[in-house]
Amino acid sequence: MKKETSLIPIEIIENKIYLIRGAKVMLDSDLANLYGVSIKRLNEQVKRNLKRFPSDFMFQLNEKENKKLLSIRSQIATFKRGQHRKYLPHVFTEHGVTMLASVLNSERAVEISIYVVRAFIKIREMLATHKNLIKEFEKMKRTQKEHSQHIINILNVIRQLIDPPEPKVPKEPMGFRDRGKD
């Protein structure tokens, strides 16, 4: 089993995380596939343990969200014949994925949930980095007008320090000269 799960790169899991209703979530079908169970089995376990899945752990997509998600997913892959669903899918947040692993109670589910949680953490860290960069750029834009000439002067001095101008030495004219006449 360990060899099988170690072959799942975190990037594959990251590509199965979507932003819906302001939350990063994974589809029940993707989780069922990763955990090696059917969607029906996964949803049965959720129904049996519904108290463990509050709305911030799991929610069901509405028709509009499902259509939007299907259009995104259809760009990646298409459904095979007979894979259409009777019910709207459920999606799970990072905490819902962890809880799902406990109700499925298999070694594979536990291992996969670790990969999934790591993917959520990686995405969270990337978003935090991007937010910090955006804040810095906004700050620079606000102060740019006040300090633009100072910044230009500083950059010019730095350029001169890195590549100092060559001293201007008069160059010898090109061609042959008679040295005896000089």
169 domain residue, yes or no:
no
Query: In which domain, by residue range, is 75 found?
Result: 2-133
- Give the DSSP per-residue string, 129-173: HHHHHHHHHHHHHHHHHHHHHHHHHHHHHHHHHHSPPPP--PPPP
125 domain residue, yes or no:
yes
Higher pLDDT, 97 or 7: 97
164 domain residue, yes or no:
no
110 pLDDT exceeds 60? yes
Q: Across all residues in the chain, what is the average pLDDT?
A: 76
The domain total for the chain is 1
Which of 68-82, 102-116, 124-138 is predicted most confidently?
102-116
Higher pLDDT, 74 or 86: 86
153 domain residue, yes or no:
no
Look at the block and give the residue holding tokens 């298999």. 106
Q: In this predicted model, what pLDDT tens digit does every residue of 5-55 receive, in sequence order? A: 445 667 778 888 888 898 889 999 999 988 888 899 999 999 999 999 999
For residue 48, the model assigns a pLDDT of 93
150 pLDDT exceeds 70? no
Q: Which of 8, 14, 4, 5 is nearest to 120 (CA)?
A: 14
86 domain residue, yes or no:
yes
92 domain residue, yes or no:
yes
108 domain residue, yes or no:
yes
Q: Which of 106, 87, 102, 105 is nearest to 28 (CA)?
A: 87
147 domain residue, yes or no:
no
